[in-house]
Amino acid sequence: MITNALRRPSTFGLPLALALTLCTSCSRAPSFEILGSFFPAWLVCLALGLVLTTAGHWILSRVHVVLAVPILTYPSLTALFTFALWLSFFR
């Protein structure tokens, strides 16, 4: 008697898995047309994130907030703004 552990896998599973990987593809990446050239949306979100980080640095310096580790704070702030913009515009 053959138990379930000794059974060979069915030959139907592998072609089905391959067919499903071909069916699930990425949709077209969102892009903007700026002056006749298409830019990826993440690049625009990154540029806006850098601008917002610069504005945040200006505000923090005007209020005289001293950061303990600015080399970690500003890249993290840039990433936060970039991801928040991406989620709010391209969710």
pLDDT digits (tens, 9 = 90+) for 6-41: 555 566 677 777 776 666 555 666 676 767 767 788
pLDDT digits (tens, 9 = 90+) for 52-89: 999 999 999 999 999 999 999 999 999 999 999 988 98
What is the pTM (predicted TM-score) of this model?
Answer: 0.62
Residue 21 region, left (φ>0) first, then alpha (ψ -120 to 50), else beta? alpha
Residue-wise over 13-29: b if at least 16 C-beta within 10 A, else e? eeeeeeeeeeeeeeeee
